[in-house]
Amino acid sequence: MNDSACDVVIAGAGPYGLSTAAYLQNLGLDVRIIGRPMRFWDENMPEGMYLKSEPFASNLGAPQRGMGFTDRHPDWGLGRPIPLDTFVAYGRWFASVVIPGTEDAQVVNIEGARRDGYVVTLSTGETIATPIVVVAVGVGPFAHIPDELSGLPSWLVSHSSAHRDLGLFAGKEVAVIGAGQSALETAVLLADAGAYPHVIARRAELDWNTVPEQSRSPLELLRGGPRSGLGTGYRTWLWAERPGLVRYLPERTRRRIVRETLPPAGAWWLRDRLDDRVRVSTGRCVVKAAGRDDGVALTTIDQAGRRVTTEVEHAIAATGYVPDIERLTMLSPDLRARIATHSGPKGGGTRFGAPVLSRNFEASTSGLYFAGLAAAVTFGPVMRFVHGADFAARRIAHHIIRRTPAVREPAGRVETVLEPDVSPR
Ligand SMILES: Cc1cc2nc3c(=O)[nH]c(=O)nc-3n(C[C@H](O)[C@H](O)[C@H](O)COP(=O)(O)OP(=O)(O)OC[C@H]3O[C@@H](n4cnc5c(N)ncnc54)[C@H](O)[C@@H]3O)c2cc1C
C-alpha cells in the first residue's frame, strides 16, 4: 500500500526539472517536484564561479512570458558573465513564481509498480504511486573520475563537483586535471583562495573562447553564421536551436557532435585571471595516481613519451560527466535492467550507457522520461546546457498532457505579470 498517489513525479529541481514543472502547471494535473531548487548549482559548484553561458542562453523554460533570466535582468547584456549566486537566485525566484510547491527531499528509489506505473520512495520514507516519472537529476550522478585516478580516498583525489568552498585548500599544492572551463576556473579560484594550483592537461595547449561580438555586419553574419545558445556558426545553430532534428542523425554522428561541440576551453573573461599563480602543464596524460602519507603522486606521460611524477597534497579531477544509467542508483536494479540503452543489448558484461529516448524523451519503459545530460546522446549537445531546458520541458510536458486523461478541470493558463529584478547587485 502506498502513502499517496499523483499524476506526475519530477525527480530533481534544477533547470530541466523546474522548466518541466512550469509547463505542467495549471493543466489540471497533480504534479510533485522533488528536490530543493537549484541544489546542485548551490552546493556543488565553487563559490565565486561565473557562468560560461551567455545571459540569453541561461533562460529556464516556461509557458508564461517574463520568466527568462534576461527578463528578470533586462540590463544583463551579451558578454557580461553571470555570477553563480545571481543564477541560483534566479532559479529560486523562477520556482517561487511558477511552481506552487517544490519539496526539499530526495528520491531514493523508483521501481516499476506491479501492474503499471511506478512507485517512488522519498528520503522522508513516503511512497508515491504514479503513472509518470520525469528523471531530471542533472549531471551530479554522472560525475566521472578516470580509472587512473579512481580508487584513492576522497581526501587525496576528488571530483570537481565535490567542492563548494575551495578555501579548504589554502596553503596546499593541488593538481587540477583537465582543460575545460571547470578545470581552469577551479584553478583560478584555488589561487584566489591561497592554494598552489597546478593544471595538468592532455591537450597540447589550453584553448580559450573568443569575446562575443556585440554586433556584426551582414557580411560577417553570412560568413560566420548565426549566433545561438551554444555559440556562433551554422552547424552550431542547428545543434543549439533544433535538437529535435539532431535525433534523426545516426547515433555515431550524434555522439561525435556531443563530443566535439564546445570542446574543453576556458571562457574569454577567465584568460587574464589565469596568471603565474597557476602552474600549467599541457600535453601530459595522467597514467597513475599513488597515495602517499601526505598526498598523492601523479605519474604523467608527455607527448614525447617521457614519464614525469608530480607530488601534490590533493588532486581534483575536473574530468566531466558521463551519462550512464547504472549510476542512477535511485532506479531499482530491476527497472534499470528494463531500460534500453545506447550501448546495445543488456547482458554479456556490456557497460550500460545513456537511455534510448523517443522523440518525447520517453525511455523504453512507458511513462519514464529523462531530461538533461541523460538525453544528450539522443538530442545532442544542447542537453548539456541550460539552453536545452525549454525544448526538453515543452516536449515532455506536451506528451504527458496528451497521454493523461483529463481527470480534473484544467485551471487555465496563468498569464503572470512580472517585474524585473532591479535590486542593487
Ligand atoms: C561547474 C559547472 C559549470 C557549469 N556552467 C554552465 C553554464 O555556464 N551554462 C550552462 O548552460 N550549463 C552549465 N553547466 C552545466 C549545467 O550543470 C547544466 O546545464 C544544468 O545544470 C542542467 O540542468 P539539470 O536540471 O539537468 O541539472 P541540475 O542543475 O544538476 O539539476 C538536477 C537537480 O536534481 C537534484 N537531484 C539529483 N538526484 C536527486 C534525487 N535522487 N532526488 C531529488 N533530486 C535529485 C540535484 O540536487 C540537482 O539540484 C555547468 C556545469 C558545471 C558542473
Tens of pLDDT, residue by residue over 358-385, are 999 999 999 999 999 999 999 999 999 9
Q: Is 258 helix (H, G, I), strand (E, B) or coil?
A: helix
How many other C-beta atoms lie within 10 A of the C-beta of residue 308? 12
How many other C-beta atoms lie within 10 A of the C-beta of residue 221? 14
Residue 361: DSSP 8-state: S
E strand map for 7-49: 8-11, 31-34
Residue 380: DSSP 8-state: -
Q: Is 139 in the pocket of ligand 1 (CB under 6 A)?
A: yes
Q: Is the pLDDT of residue 235 over 80?
A: yes
Q: Is 209 in the pocket of ligand 1 (CB under 6 A)?
A: no
Of 246, 228, 1, the closest CA to residue 126 belongs to 1
Span 155-176, average pLDDT: 97
Distance 196 CA to ligand 1 centre (A): 28
Q: Closest ligand 1 atom, CA of 41? A: 29
Span 210-226, average pLDDT: 88
What's the alpha-carbon Rg for the chain, to the nearest Å? 22
pLDDT given at position 406: 53
- Cα separation, 42 vs 355, in Å, equals 27
How many other C-beta atoms lie within 10 A of the C-beta of residue 302? 13
Distance 274 CA to ligand 1 centre (A): 25
Helices (H), 66-161: 69-72, 84-98
Distance 207 CA to ligand 1 centre (A): 24
pLDDT given at position 254: 94
Q: Is 45 in the pocket of ligand 1 (CB under 6 A)?
A: yes
Higher pLDDT, 264 or 348: 264
pLDDT given at position 220: 87
pLDDT given at position 27: 86
> Cell 512507485 maps to which residue?
119
Q: Which residues pair with 312 in a beta bridge?
A: 296
Q: Is 240 helix (H, G, I), strand (E, B) or coil?
A: helix
CATH of domain 4-142+321-403: 3.50.50.60
Domains 4-142+321-403 and 147-207+265-317 share a fold: yes
Residues 6+ apart with CB under 8 A from 423: none
Q: Is 35 in the pocket of ligand 1 (CB under 6 A)?
A: yes
Q: Is 51 in the pocket of ligand 1 (CB under 6 A)?
A: yes
Q: Is 374 in the pocket of ligand 1 (CB under 6 A)?
A: no
Chain segment 67-76, per-residue pLDDT in tens: 999 999 999 9
Q: Calculate the CA dihedral of residues 239, 324, 122, 393 and round it to 10 degrees.
A: 10
CATH of domain 147-207+265-317: 3.50.50.60
Contact 24, 82 (CB under 8 A): no
pLDDT given at position 56: 96
Distance 298 CA to ligand 1 centre (A): 30
Q: Whose CA is nearest to atom 27 of ligand 1?
A: 138
The backbone region for 213, taken as left when phi is positive above 0, alpha when psi lies in -120 to 50, beta otherwise, is: beta
- Cα separation, 339 vs 362, in Å, equals 10
Contact 122, 300 (CB under 8 A): no
Span 401-409, average pLDDT: 69
Distance 88 CA to ligand 1 centre (A): 11
Domain boundaries, the chain: 4-142+321-403, 147-207+265-317
Distance 41 CA to ligand 1 centre (A): 6
Distance 226 CA to ligand 1 centre (A): 27
Q: Closest ligand 1 atom, CA of 58? A: 11
